[in-house]
A and B are shown apart, each in its own frame.
Chain A
Amino acid sequence: MTVEHADSPPTVTAPVPPPRLAPAAAPREPAAPPGPASPVDTGPADHERPDHQGPDHQGPGHERPGRQGPGREPWPAGVRQIRIGAPPPTGPGITGTGHAVTTVGADAGTQRVLAVAAADLASHYRRCGPVPWRGPGGPLLAEIRDSGLTGRGGAAFPTWRKLSAVVAAAHPHTGRPGGRRRVAPSGTRRAGTPVVVANAAEGEPESTKDATLLAAAPHLVLDGLQLAAEAVGAGEAYVQVKPGAAAEVVRRAVVERRAAGWDRCRIEVREAPATFLAGEASAVVAALEGAPARPRAHWRPLADDGLHGRPTLVHNVETLAHLAMIARWGAAWFRCVGTADEPGTLLVTVTGAVAAPGVVEVPYGTPLGELVALRGGATEPVGALRLGGYAGTWLPADVGPGVAMSREGLAPWGAEPGPGLVSVLPAGACGLAETARIVAYLAGQNAGQCGPCVSGLPQLARAVAGMAGVAGRNTAPDGENPAQSASRALRLAALVAGRGACHHPDGVARLVHSALRTFAADIRAHAQGHCIGSTHPG
């Protein structure tokens, strides 16, 4: 379902003036031409745009090797420890409404979307210039392909492939918008005008990066939505946002843009219910149609058959913000930080036992230890990390702070950056009890639609609760030994994975599997009647 763009060479639009950063977000170092520094040859388009300068791209992430061997140094008990409750150290960053998004320390130079963040249209214009319209189809798609941008909603799917799938679905004969459509053969469905959706439903309870981004840089996200709409020839654009301050900001931003005649495609802001599944792409589409926000069983991709049967593009808001940056400053600039395979930066919510929980923007490949340090460091000795949120993966703390935040760096541990979440579990807490709490929550959030998920998740939650119990101390719900509960959990996890309309059960199974790996010693201890985590309840 992709179209070939080789026949439509990227046309070079009038170069966008490099942004004049307001003093508050001034780049730490002068920007250098990106071309030769780019780790990967990104095609002719880049050589023709030598004047593309980013707000800053000389961050330390540039020189950092992409692959980090499994570090063996122990986690420092408190990486630059700060008293809890103290405000995050201020640095040359931006502070959004109610959200501290300042990065601190030596790495502050790698902010990108947060560095140009501006809440009102006038400052956004001063920093970023006008929307760099490219015309439908080809040019932007090629640029996005060369940039290597992947989705930031969790699945890390290549963004340009989603864009071109929607183009191909909307224009089955020419493969690009604007091409004349011949009469569809009888029996072929009319595709209809595409729809684009910015997904800010942010169902992950621990995640704040989407709300933070929207509150700090609503116009950057909406520019990305407009550019995506232009690229696929969309007739409508939606923002599906969870209730809160960010929703207010984005509403105001849309009004501002309408008054200024900034947009070419009409944007409608809708509120998403605050459930775990409300952000799943087909649930977003269902909610936009006025149905309950539950995932749908769809054998055709949303790109073919989405909102009211029309080709639909659903992107996370962070993906759209990066897209708007790439449209302005080019693929080569985008690739200046991060790793060759995973270029660019990502927003990460750092939570748990850290001094200043919050959002940071770092290049792919940043060591986890540095990520934690950017939020003030751990407040207690680290017991384990959870990557990717509730439906993520546990990582034992002894894998070390040198492990890179990237798919490549985390793959040896079966983990992924997911939607950009790092949670720090203190050594004093019981990882099994924490897993039981999360699995119980996730089981309660199933959409009640698919047999194996509806009956399997609660059973799985009971089994996990069983292994979180301590033999002889608190009786496991099913009267099992924690070790027996663990093997039952393993069996049940295999029975739910992949057996539902959405990937929710897969995520729960992944978390349980990683808990069994990471907390094997804890399960043994529980079976023998004691708990390693000292703060274990009971």
Chain B
Amino acid sequence: MPGLSQRRRTAPDDAPDGHPDSTAGGGGPAVRPARLWIDWTACDARGWCAELLPELLARDPAGYPLARAASAQTTRNITIPAPLASHARRAVDACPRLALRLLPDG
């Protein structure tokens, strides 16, 4: 797909299943499942989140974040597997538009 970020920091699409062996997340303590919420009225497609969370987010042709998992039909709420929680936290902190929020799942 044109415009998708080719850079991958960790293992491919199917890796982040919350598998305990996953190196993503730095092996920190297991955290409760979380979801990433995007304020679409604030996001202006700067793409930092996709840089910091490439396991879960790609960019669409206009640069807006796009959920990678085919099962996630919506990018309004993206489930974050526990091992990726710290990456998600960094993406939330980095968003220049304060458009991201990490919420408890459920």
Among B40, B44, B60, B66, contact of A501 (Cβ-Cβ < 8 Å): B40
For B22-52 the 0/1 string (1 means CB < 8 A from A) is: 0000000000000001011111110000000
Q: Does A499 contact B (CB under 8 A)?
A: yes
Nearest to B103 among chain A residues (CB) is: A299
| Given known contacts A299-B103, A451-B45, A452-B60, A500 and B66 CB-to-CB distance under 8 angstroms | no
Interface residues of A in 487-528 (CB under 8 A from B): 495, 497-501, 506
Minimum Cβ distance to chain A for residue B77 (Å): 9
Q: Does A475 contact B (CB under 8 A)?
A: no
Give the distance in Å from the alpha carbon of A189 to the alpha carbon of B9 in the complex: 39
Q: Does B19 contact A (CB under 8 A)?
A: no
CB-based contact A499/B75 at 8 Å? yes
Tally chain A residues at the interface, Cβ within 8 Å. 16
Interface residues of A in 453-510 (CB under 8 A from B): 453, 455, 495, 497-501, 506
Among B41, B76, B101, contact of A449 (Cβ-Cβ < 8 Å): B41
Nearest to A506 among chain B residues (CB) is: B74
Interface residues of B in 67-100 (CB under 8 A from A): 73-76
CB-based contact B73/A498 at 8 Å? yes
CB-based contact A449/B40 at 8 Å? yes
Minimum Cβ distance to chain A for residue B97 (Å): 11
Q: Does A530 contact B (CB under 8 A)?
A: no
| Given known contacts A299-B101, A455-B62, A450 and B40 CB-to-CB distance under 8 angstroms | yes
CB-based contact B42/A297 at 8 Å? yes
Minimum Cβ distance to chain B for residue A380 (Å): 36
For A66-94 the 0/1 string (1 means CB < 8 A from B) is: 00000000000000000000000000000
CB-based contact B41/A296 at 8 Å? yes
Majority-rule SS of A interface residues: loop
Minimum Cβ distance to chain A for residue B71 (Å): 12
Give the distance in Å from the alpha carbon of A451 to the alpha carbon of B43 in the complex: 7
CB-based contact B40/A499 at 8 Å? yes
List of B residues within 8 angstroms of A296 by Cβ: 41
Give the distance in Å from the alpha carbon of A184 to the alpha carbon of B69 in the complex: 40
Give the distance in Å from the alpha carbon of A500 to the alpha carbon of B103 in the complex: 18
Number of A-B contacts (CB under 8 A): 47
Minimum Cβ distance to chain B for residue A64 (Å): 34
List of B residues within 8 angstroms of A501 by Cβ: 39-41
CB-based contact A499/B64 at 8 Å? yes
Minimum Cβ distance to chain B for residue A151 (Å): 19
CB-based contact B37/A495 at 8 Å? no
Nearest to A455 among chain B residues (CB) is: B62
CB-based contact B41/A498 at 8 Å? no
Minimum Cβ distance to chain A for residue B17 (Å): 21
CB-based contact A450/B60 at 8 Å? no
CB-based contact B41/A297 at 8 Å? yes
| Given known contacts A451-B62, A497-B73, A499-B64, A297 and B40 CB-to-CB distance under 8 angstroms | yes
CB-based contact B37/A451 at 8 Å? no
| Given known contacts A299-B101, A449-B40, A449-B41, A497 and B74 CB-to-CB distance under 8 angstroms | yes
Give the distance in Å from the alpha carbon of A452 to the alpha carbon of B44 in the complex: 10
Minimum Cβ distance to chain B for residue A371 (Å): 30
List of B residues within 8 angstroms of A449 by Cβ: 40-41
Minimum Cβ distance to chain B for residue A458 (Å): 12
| Given known contacts A299-B103, A452-B60, A495 and B66 CB-to-CB distance under 8 angstroms | yes
Among A495, A497, A500, A506, contact of B40 (Cβ-Cβ < 8 Å): A500
Nearest to B42 among chain A residues (CB) is: A297
| Given known contacts A299-B101, A299-B103, A452-B60, A499 and B41 CB-to-CB distance under 8 angstroms | no
Among A451, A455, A495, A498, contact of B76 (Cβ-Cβ < 8 Å): A498
| Given known contacts A299-B101, A451-B45, A500-B40, A495 and B60 CB-to-CB distance under 8 angstroms | yes
Minimum Cβ distance to chain A for residue B10 (Å): 24
Nearest to B43 among chain A residues (CB) is: A451
Give the distance in Å from the alpha carbon of A297 to the alpha carbon of B97 in the complex: 14
Minimum Cβ distance to chain B for residue A293 (Å): 14
Nearest to A453 among chain B residues (CB) is: B40
Give the distance in Å from the alpha carbon of A497 to the alpha carbon of B60 in the complex: 13
Give the distance in Å from the alpha carbon of A132 to the alpha carbon of B19 in the complex: 55
Minimum Cβ distance to chain B for residue A448 (Å): 10
Among B37, B43, B44, B64, contact of A299 (Cβ-Cβ < 8 Å): B37
List of A residues within 8 angstroms of B42 by Cβ: 297
List of A residues within 8 angstroms of B62 by Cβ: 451-452, 455
| Given known contacts A299-B101, A452-B62, A455-B62, A498 and B39 CB-to-CB distance under 8 angstroms | no
Minimum Cβ distance to chain A for residue B43 (Å): 6
Nearest 7 CB-CB pairings of A with B: A498-B74, A450-B40, A297-B39, A449-B41, A297-B41, A299-B37, A499-B75
A sample of 7 inter-chain contacts (CB < 8 A) reads A299-B101, A451-B43, A451-B44, A451-B62, A452-B64, A501-B40, A506-B74
Given A450-B41, A501-B40, list of 15 further CB < 8 A pairs?
A296-B41, A297-B40, A297-B41, A299-B103, A449-B40, A451-B40, A451-B64, A452-B64, A452-B75, A453-B40, A497-B73, A498-B76, A499-B64, A501-B39, A506-B74
